[in-house]
Structure 1
Amino acid sequence: MGSKSYWIKNGLLNLLQNMSGVLFGFVNFFILVRILSKEDYGLWIIFMSFTGIVEFAKNGLTQEASIKYLAAADEENRKKIITASFAINCLFSFIAILLTLIFAPFLGKLWHSEKIVPILNLYVIVFFVSSILNQLNCIEQARLQFRGVFFATVARQFFFFIFIVFCFLTNFKITLISLTVGLIVVTMIATAVAFLFTRKAIQYSKKLDFAWVKKIVNFGKYSFGVSLSSILSGSIDQMMLGSMLSTSASGSFNVAVRITNLTDIPVNSMANVVFPQSSLRVEKEGPGALKYLYEKSIGVILSILVPAMLFVYILSDYIIIFIAGENYQDAIPLLHVTLLLCIFSPYSRQAGTILAAASKTKINFYIIIMNTVLLITLNYFLIQEFGVMGAAYASFICTAIMFVITQIILKRHFGINALAPWKYALHFYPEFYHKYLKKESRS
């Protein structure tokens, strides 16, 4: 397969996978806020945040290392790597299951609801099944194949979506237990789909090679830290609201965040385009070449985000009521604050991309750790002072502080100007008109 065909095909699969996740996730959210009580919806968000943290951290330890080493290994070493990676996955899954079962009652008291205990105890099945799913996905990606990952991911999203829609249309009473059972079933389906695509490539050695275990863990420790910190910074506010205030406060905050997070679509899409380009340029032209890519890409994103952000801000009352219903009108002022984060989002996302392309992963790691610690600290004090609005203020203040720190780092290493993207953003509209719209009207 030619390189152009490779990028087009797999880029399209990646785009479709992201779009399906947004679509199914949004419809699920649209239904769940209407059929679950405000307290149960908030508890479900806390539950999903907690299990997501465990999953991301667990997968982050082995995923990048496995793909990296498998891609370049000969047949004998491939067997050793797969066995070592699977052993690490199983060990951490067992630890996650054990700790969850032990601390589930404590978490019930922390979030003021005993309902979370049985669903956590039930969900440990997913921790084990997902370790197999992650292993299968790593094997396929190392072969530069993505169809299995795509179909497994979409199957997991689609069948959970079908389950929720079926319950909604048939007036079947959805409970937190039934939702958890649904997650178990769809994870098993996704694992079966991944196995169908990967079964011929599965190889293993009968003996565990501890040298490869050590190598994978040493490589994966930074990915583990980044994965854990990233998912924590994205969900810790909702979990702290559930503990310090109520689960309904977590639900209201989640509604505002979900609407704001729609901005991740253009931001992530641009990051996927910029990363291979930046990696290529830094090899050919050196780190200085990253300055233009960073400033230009953010300018394009801002030209799309700012009008959308203003539109949502002006119509926020109507959007909240349409999307979540009148029970969540308290999310309107939260949305006003969280929308301001859209300005900073492309800066931080592209900063991580540029630092990774320049092989400055340690700096990226420390930035994310600092962000997580600062966010937890601000949430602790501001939620006590301002209630649910405190979580929104904490997110904004933390993001603004980290923006300043990150831009100082980027200025020092690459000479990047934080104001330059706004120049590109203003130039985007006439440039787009002359290159595309005017050209189309002439043809």
Structure 2
Amino acid sequence: MEFGKHLKKGFWGLADKSLPLIYGLGFVLLVIRVLPKEEFGTYIIIQNLYLLLVAAGSSFALLPMVKFAAETEDIVAITNTGNWLYVFFVIVIGLPIVAFKEEFAKIFHTPDFIELAWFLPLMLVVSSLRQVTLYLLQSKIQIRHMFFLNAVYFIGSLILVIIVFQNVENQTAFTMLVINTVTLAFSSALGFLLLPSGTIRKMFLWNVQKVEVKKFWNYGKYSFGASSSYTLYLQADSFVIANLLGPVSVAVYNAAKVFIRIFDVVLQVIMMFIVPISAQLSSKNNVEDLRILAEKSIFVFTAIIFPMSIGLFFFSPEIISLFYNNKYSDTTILLRLLSLSGIFIPTIGVAASFLYGIGKMKEVFLVSAINVVTAICIMYFAIVYGGIVGAAVSIICISMMMMFTYYFALVKYCGISLRFSNIILRYKDALLFVQKLLNNKSN
């Protein structure tokens, strides 16, 4: 299995996934330092709800589209079904939040939620074409187009933040949500241009076939439970903190958590490459190449993320002081604790990607459901007794638990036998790959 063949596309993937990092840096400097803590906490709650709903819709309708489109060249019926299922799903799950906005405002101790809840269905609608296009491009590993699509959103958001914050005296959660909505709409517009006109037309024609819906349902009901459960876990700490401690504590906690978004970026890179590749290999019953891919992937991504984790741990005081001055000085211990969770991400990401790609959705759903229920219970009691520091400690424990459960699921359900010693020995392949790159550059 020539892992390097796929890693060459990783340069565009690296560029694509560096966009959230650039945005995150700008977000820290331009937004978190400026927004009042109450407003920042309110924005985080609404934005996290949006991300949770997008993840739910994507896992139900678009993850199946990635798998099925990666296995064939005839994708007309697949894209049509995926598009309509996604649009239908996000509308159905978005409107009830607006209908019960008063109840959500009470749960999160956020009165402004009542006035801002309408942003949720609006952002879901304007971003729908963006999401469908991203997943369709992922199925064919067209990373360069994905980069441009994401650049419109992330870089466009920073540009609008600079313009608006210089001309608006009082910045609020409302300001940020308007910026999000505008850039999501522009990103969807670019998605319209990137896809062939025939594909766009066929996507929006009502030509949904019963056999395709059934195929999507058989895969999507489990991918929905698995992926949305994991996203719920990612956002649950903020929701539980909001419920128990209020939006100001959400702001303080997320001022530290924003720096470990780099781990989420690595996880997305893993999923972006491993899901379609493992799906292709699985369709050919190529078990040996799957094993080699798993070993190389775990080693490579661990080698990437481990220095990041260690750097954040040791330099957290300097990082917090540099970016926040004295506004969030109490977040140093939070960043140190949260940084340790990164070392578990590569195994979680690779194992989960294989389970998705091979189609073991019932199994990954069961693993994810057990993990998430356990995680939320741990998180709740940790926050009750330890506040936001307890939340950070719980993230370490939960990440370790998820690493082991996904690893054993990979071995048991995918029939891929992995040994720690074999993973370590993959450093030789990494060195050979680097040597090839250097030789090609010199030639």
Aligned length: 434
Q: Scaled by the length of structure 2, what TM-score is found?
A: 0.83
Measured in 2, the distance between the counterparts of 1:157 and 1:434 equals: 31
**Equivalent in the alignment of 1:15:** 14
TM (normalized to structure 1)?
0.83
Deviations 1:87-142 (A, max 9, x none): 43343233234202112111111111111221112332122222343345556667
What residue in structure 2 maps to residue 24 of structure 1? 23
Cα 1:93–1:401 change in 2 (3 A) is closer
Equivalence for 2:128: 131
Return closer, same or farther for 1:309/1:402 CA change in 2, 3 Å cut-off. Answer: closer
Alpha-carbon separation, structure 2, partners of 1:227 and 1:327? 35
Alpha-carbon offset, residue 372 of structure 1? 1.3
Partner Cα separation in structure 2 for residue 87 and residue 277 of structure 1: 26
Q: Which amino acid aligns with 1:416?
A: L
How many angstroms does 1:197 deviate by? 2.6
Whether contact under 8 Å (1:411, 1:417) holds in the other structure is: no
In the alignment, the residues of structure 1 paired with residue 208 and residue 339 of structure 2 have an alpha-carbon distance, to the nearest angstrom, of 50
Shift of 1:42: 1.9
Matched residue, 2:324: 324
Aligned residues of 1:10 and 1:146 also touching (Cα < 8 A): yes
C-alpha separation in 1, matches of 2:117 and 2:296: 45
In 1, are the aligned partners of 2:341 and 2:396 still within 8 Å (CA)?
yes
Establish whether residue 339 from structure 1 lines up as the match of residue 336 from structure 2: no
- Given that 1:123 and 1:180 are in contact with CA atoms closer than 8 Å, whether structure 2 keeps it comes out as no
The answer as to 2:45 corresponding to 1:46 is yes
- Give the superposition deviation at 1:245: 0.9
- Alignment partner of 1:256: what SS? helix
**Aligned equivalents of 1:14, 1:423: Cα separation in 2:** 25
Bigger mean CA deviation after superposition, 225-234 or 350-359 = 350-359
Which one-letter code corresponds to 2:62 in the other structure?
Q
Match of 1:91 in 2: 88
**Contact in 2 for aligned 1:44/1:176 (Cα 8 Å):** yes
Stretch of structure 1 that moved more, 171-180 or 403-412: 403-412
Distance between the aligned counterparts of 1:22 and 1:416, measured in 2?
Answer: 32
Distance 2:78 2:437 in 1: 52
The one-letter amino acid paired with 2:201 is Q
Aligned equivalents of 2:399, 2:138: Cα separation in 1:
33
Contact 1:39/1:251 (8 A) holds in 2: yes
- 1:203 corresponds to 2:196: no
Partner residue, 1:414: 416
Partners in 2 of 1:362 and 1:60 — Cα distance? 13
User: Is 1:161 aligned to residue 158 of structure 2?
Assistant: yes
User: In structure 1, what is the Cα distance between the partners aligned to 2:276 and 2:233?
Assistant: 26
2:235: which partner in 1?
A: 235
- Partner residue of 1:226? 226
Aligned runs of 1:2-401 on 2, under 5 Å?
A: 11-67=10-66, 72=72, 78=76, 84-137=81-134, 149-170=146-167, 172-198=169-195, 199-204=197-202, 205=205, 209-266=209-266, 268-269=268-269, 286-401=286-401
Q: Give 3-state SS (helix, strand or coil) of 1:35's partner.
A: coil
Identity of aligned residues (%): 22
**383 and 218 in structure 1: CA distance in 2 versus 1, 3 angstrom threshold:** same
* 240-249 vs 94-103, greater mean Cα deviation: 94-103
Question: One-letter code of the match for 1:49?
Answer: N
CA distance in structure 2 between the partners assigned to 1:62 and 1:434 by the alignment: 38
Cα-to-partner distance string for 1:236-257 (whole Å, 9 max, x where unaligned):
1111111111212222222322
Cα distance, 1:339 vs structure 2: 1.7
Contact kept in structure 2, 1:148 and 1:193, CA below 8 Å? no
Q: CA RMSD in A?
A: 3.7
Of the structure 1 ranges 129-138 and 44-53, higher mean CA displacement relative to structure 2 is found in: 129-138
Query: CA 1:428/1:257 → structure 2, altered by over 3 Å: closer, same or farther?
Result: farther
Q: Which moved more, 1:85-94 or 1:263-272?
A: 263-272
Question: d(CA) in 1 for partners of 2:171 and 2:27?
Answer: 12
Following the alignment from structure 2 to structure 1, what is the Cα–Cα distance between the partners of residues 276 and 206? 37
Q: Secondary structure at the match of 2:110?
A: coil
Q: Distance in 2 between matches of 1:298 and 1:96?
A: 35
Distance 1:367 1:419, change over 3 A: farther
Q: Does the aligned pair in 1 maintain the 2:21–2:261 contact within 8 Å?
A: no
Contact 2:382 2:390 survives alignment (8 Å): yes
| AA at the equivalent of 1:64 | L
Distance 1:432 1:241, change over 3 A: farther
Q: CA offset at residue 206 of structure 1? A: 5.5
Q: Name the CA distance, whole Å, in 2 between partners of 1:378 and 1:265.
A: 25
> Secondary structure of 1:318's match?
helix
| Per-residue deviation, residues 208-261 of structure 1 (Å, max 9, x unmatched) | 544443443333222222231121111111111111112122222223222223
Structure 1, gaps ≥5 residues long: none
For 1:92, the aligned partner's letter is F
Alignment of structure 1 residues 431-442 onto 2, 5 Å = 431=431, 435=435
Per-residue CA deviations over 1:125-161 (Å, capped at 9, x if unaligned) read 1222223433455566677756654433221222211
Q: How far is 1:20 from its partner? A: 1.6
